[in-house]
Amino acid sequence: MPTRKDIRDAVADRLRPAIAALNPELEVFTWQKAMVQTYAGLVSIYFDDGRAEHSLTDRDDLAELTIRIMLTDQPAVDDALDEIGNAIETAIESDPLFGGMLSVCTFAAWAYDRDISQGWTGLRLTYNTQYAA
């Protein structure tokens, strides 16, 4: 049974080549990073929240997996975020269940984040996941 860490690590391993092909300087974290500290930006992979569903013998966790791309403000930053986001979506679509680690992984939502005072813009991709816990 996979742990949350196992899932975050598997997602990061899948995404690193796709992200590096677009921008080799982007760092990938398996936790929620709150601030861009380099010009290149970053990608964070984390769970926001989840809940457990129990049967007599089993437990499945249902959780929102978030992939957040953060770039420093620059001309056409939304276009750059979209290019990286599209590459991430394509990489996940190639095997959304990560070799059976997940029983469900569906794209649920996206949203832009903007922090004018810190000078960065982000794109959050949210996936609904389910897995045996």
Task: List the CATH number of the domain containing 46.
Answer: 3.30.70.1700
**Per-residue CA distances from 35 to 65, 71, 80 (Å):** 19, 10, 18
> How many independent structural domains does the chain possess?
1
> Taking all residues of the chain, what is their mean pLDDT, rounded to a whole number?
93
Q: What percent of the chain has pLDDT over 70?
A: 95
Asked if the model's pLDDT at residue 75 lies above 80, the reply is yes
Q: Helices (H), strands (E): how many in the chain?
A: 2, 5
Instruction: Give the pair of three-digit tokens for residue 53.
Output: 């569903």
The residue-averaged pLDDT of 96-115 equals 96
Residue 54: predicted pLDDT: 87
Burial of 51 (0-12, 13-18, 19+ CB in 10 A): exposed
Residue 33: predicted pLDDT: 81
* Domain range for 24: 4-132
Cβ-based neighbours of 58, under 8 Å, separated by 6 or more:
132
Per residue in 18-54, pLDDT (tens digit) is 999 999 999 999 999 876 666 679 999 999 889 998 8
